[in-house]
Amino acid sequence: MKKIGWILLIIGIAIIGFYTIYIKSLENKANDNIEDYIKETSIIEEQEEQEIIEPIVEEKVKKKNTINYTAILEIPVISLKSGIVNSTKNFYSINYAISADRSSNYPNEYGNFILYAHSGNSSIAYFKHLSNVNIDDSVYVYFNGIKYHYVIFDKYDIEKTGKAVFKRPINDNYITLITCNQNRKGYQIVLTGKLINTESY
């Protein structure tokens, strides 16, 4: 019986070790993808150097990346910096990254950039700490060489029905962040921010 107990203990430790290594490798890959996106889309003033380096960088990125980010979301107050992907009929993006709703307007045009992600404790729960973001907190989006700075001005819950109504401004830029409320079953947290400035990165 003692031998069986030791064997089970060793197997348990091995499983935990493999799972920890797997989660760490996913985090490292996501961080690499974020850095690659920022490098690829940054505005570089010395164009001659960029033309020489770019073909080599492009080749490495294509081999390494399995998910092509369209933008990066950063929320400093919850230490979040993660990639955004588009949701399509054939790609259930929420299981891979922060997902941009199909009806979204990207930051470079007037409208509402609507993003959603899982909460909870899984490795894909990118919005697990979204409830800790409050009014007046800053949110940043890196998109095509421009860093967009939003400030949250509204926070509320909605019933989880699969449908939601959001502001779609004609002359302003908003961002809306949505995830399930882990403290209130059947509800989702919604945060809305307004663009206040932009800068090149």
With residue 34 as reference, give the H or E element that holds it.
Answer: helix 2-41
Q: Using a pLDDT cut of 90, give the percent of the chain over it.
A: 50
Eight-class DSSP state of 67: S
Give the strand pairing for 138-143 and 71-75: antiparallel
Condensed to tens digits (0 to 9), the pLDDT of residues 105-133 reads 999 999 999 999 999 888 899 999 999 99
Q: Which carries the bigger pLDDT value, residue 127 or residue 25?
A: 127
Which residue is listed with tokens 């045009």? 109
Condensed to tens digits (0 to 9), the pLDDT of residues 36-50 reads 767 677 654 433 333
Average pLDDT on 15-23 reads 68
Instruction: Give the pLDDT score at 95.
Output: 83
Angle at 78 between CA 96 and CA 65, to 5 degrees: 30
Encode 85-115: b = buried (16+ Cβ within 10 Å), e = exposed: bbbeeeeebbeebbbbbeebbbbeeebbbbb
Task: Quote the tokens at residue 93.
Answer: 């993006």
Give 19's pLDDT tier (boundaries 50, 70, 90): low
Model confidence at 153: pLDDT above 60: yes
Largest CA distance in the chain: 73
Give 165's pLDDT tier (boundaries 50, 70, 90): confident
How high is the mean pLDDT of the chain?
81
Distance of alpha carbon 198 from alpha carbon 201, whole angstroms: 10
Q: Which carries the bigger pLDDT value, residue 191 or residue 93?
A: 191
Instruction: Give the pLDDT score at 103.
Output: 86
Q: Using a pLDDT cut of 70, give the percent of the chain over it.
A: 72
